[in-house]
Amino acid sequence: MTQSQSGNQLSSARSAYLRTAAHQPIYWREWNDAAFERAQRDNKPILLDIGAVWCHWCHVMDGESYENEEIAALINENFIAVKVDRDERPDIDSRMQAAVQAISGQGGWPLTAFLTPDGKPFFGGTYFPPDDRYGRPGFKNILQTLSEYFRRNPAEIIEQSNKVIEAIASVDNFVPQDSQLSPHLLESILNSIVHSFDVRHGGFGTAPKFPHCGGVELLLNHYQLTGEAWALTIADTTLTKMAQGGVYDQVGGGFHRYSTDEHWTVPHFEKMSYDNSELLKNYLHGYQTTQNPLFREVAEGILSWVDTTLSDQERGGFYASQDADIDLHDDGDFFTWSLEELKGALSEEEAEVMRFHYGVEPNGDMHHNPQKNVLEIAMDARDIASRLNLSTDRVQELIASGKKRLLEERKKRKFPFVDTTLYTNWNAMMISAYLEAWKVLGLSRCRAFALKSLDRLVTLAYQPNVGMYHSIVEGEARVPGLIEDQVHMANALLDAFEVTLDKQYFDLAEHLVQFALGQFWDAEHGGFFDTPRNGGAVGALATKRKPFQDSPTPAANPVAAIALQRLFHLTENVDYRDRAETILKIFSEPASKYGLYAATYGIALALHYQQPMQVLIFGDRDDTRTDALVRESSKFFRIGKVVLQLTRQQVNADALPSALLTLVRNVPLDSIPRAFVCSDFTCSPPVDSPAALAHILSTRSAK
């Protein structure tokens, strides 16, 4: 029997998650035409497993079931087994999540679905134990029951699968409503954010608790526009509590994916690129708004972790994720500490201080190992100083030295796996965040590495007739045809243009948007499908979706609306404005219901109603007076604010987008560096001092 006919076929897979299953006795296949052809030829249902390399319960189900010889035999005899990496194929995952939600009311990973031979789901769930336990049916029983049911009741299987397909089609496939856009819609989204705020612990909702970065951005923006203190209180409390909690890696920097409790104490320990890019922006903007040194420290902690762990510093590019665990029996042991481990890593004086600082006790937080503590800020330096009769300065010195020692000690432990795949949309988000770090903190290394990463992605993953591919694995571009890659990259390119004024970045951003309009735009109702509208696909992939909800990343349609509005203000091409408005109208009704989960839509809506602020700074780049104006402009946060530093030569050239060129040509210039604050294609009188610029920027009614 040949490899194409049987056997596990994942040893040559490019996905790190799929390769972890290459040793299993299951006859796994990748999602491709050959798998469905085999299922139809053998008239066998498809067992679909969707997971990720960072997913703890995926590893558990692998170990319990997919490495079990008895279960493997059941699967190999009765099913065609297909395994999918949810990071590599978000288009498959999103549809199957909708299917399993419709079937079981639950979603998540691992996702376990059963499909007809032509790819339509008829049953599914998430994690199943091998035998009945935890109130869940055993996987062996499910396999036996479904294989028998499939053989005996083909008509019922078809009927059920068609109902599930209808359920998938009803999710995220919006059409225009009669309702009109209104600023009250943005108020409705903000009210949803306020009502879900946890006053005591910060964040939104109850356990499990995820970051909601778009909501924080809206709150900070609302405070800057109105001065209403409640908005800042919610954002400040949330950022502070997360920064002090175990969900933030107190030793190594960066955030874990979410907290299992409402206190932000015990996280799921995987760390994702997409979480940390958006949280980095949150803390940068929080620092701009409050000048709270904690927020700057956390932003720098994220940068340090990404620089050392989640990026290819030599060639450019940001990796996908860091795993939570080393093996099945590990639950964050790399990141957690017993009291004895803490004492063994530190001097006696450091250990005494760090024990109080991080709240380390003999009885810790972890169920699998009660001695293990998740580090969180339990006591600040001033309180520790009072308790130990030390000066605050000395305690701060000991915290700094103790933190360094803990990090060095932790490096001796076996390191959790890092998925080095470069995903285009996640890279675009991190590139934008790194460019924001350069603007806010003046870190030139962030600017340089962001541009290096952007250039590498364009070189490897872009083709004019394909747009951006979704992923790069070992230098090979894979998975074409996803809207999120086009629109996230368009925004990253516009960010790069703003900091360099290199028109090649602008031109490519415009091309990607035009490509998306040509391939993904719904010509009948408007809005973007997640895959090309004319693309052929099997089973559930044939259903159309218009991603709108932020889950887990900022949704593609609101991100596209942001890019379209940015292009309009650089070109005055009214088609961009009209397309963005169409998107906003299509999703106006569900936005009021989704609330917090429509935060990126809220950001796009805010751009629609508050004209973006453009700060134009003219002067030689090596002039300290020019730099002072640039630094001053970076202290003020507002959604859509653009800072452009131009020289006389650029004003007299044709290397700028049309609307920007028209704007700057009407600006009076002389040899003194000057700044203009512009909005709606008109500019304020020039100022030449940071104090005068600060006064204009801080005027809350500036338009």
Are 213 and 282 a contacting pair, CB within 8 Å?
yes
In this prediction, the residues of the chain whose per-residue pLDDT falls under 70 are 1-5, 173, 176-179, 536, 652, 700-703
User: Tell me, what DSSP letter sits at residue 66?
Assistant: I
Q: How far is residue 345's CA from residue 28's CA, in Å, rounded to a whole number?
A: 44
Q: Return d(Cα 551, Cα 210) in angstroms, integer.
A: 11
Tokens 């409050």 belong to: 290
CA dihedral 512, 514, 520, 521 (to 10 degrees): 150
**Do 16-169 and 614-698 have matching folds?**
yes
Q: Which residues contact 482 (CB under 8 A, 6 or more apart)?
A: 90, 91, 425, 470, 530, 531
Q: Which fold has domain 183-324+419-532+548-609?
A: Glycosyltransferase (1.50.10)
Residues of 475-492 as b/e, b for ≥16 C-beta within 10 angstroms?
eebbbbbbbbbbbbbbbb
Task: State the architecture of 614-698 in CATH terms.
Answer: 3-Layer(aba) Sandwich (3.40)
| φ, ψ (nearest 5 deg) of residue 292 | -70, 120
Provide the CATH number for the domain formed by 339-415 in this structure. 1.10.10
The single residue listed with the structure tokens 């997913």 is 55
DSSP run (H or E) holding 340: helix 339-345
Determine whether domain 16-169 maps to CATH 3.40.30.10: yes
Give the separation between CA 163 and CA 102, rounded to whole angstroms: 9
Q: Which residue intervals of 105-169 are DSSP H helices?
A: 139-152, 154-169
Say what the pLDDT of residue 701 is: 44
Q: Are 326 and 334 in contact (CB under 8 A)?
A: yes
The pLDDT tens digits of the residues spanning 75-116 come to: 999 999 999 999 999 999 999 999 999 999 889 999 999 999
Q: What is the pTM of this model?
A: 0.96
Using alpha carbons, select from 682, 585, 694, 652 the residue that is nearest to residue 176.
Answer: 585
CA dist 485 and 478 (Å) reads 12
Residue found by looking up tokens 């701060």 in the block: 396
618: β partners:
646, 674
Domain range annotation of the chain: 16-169, 183-324+419-532+548-609, 339-415, 614-698
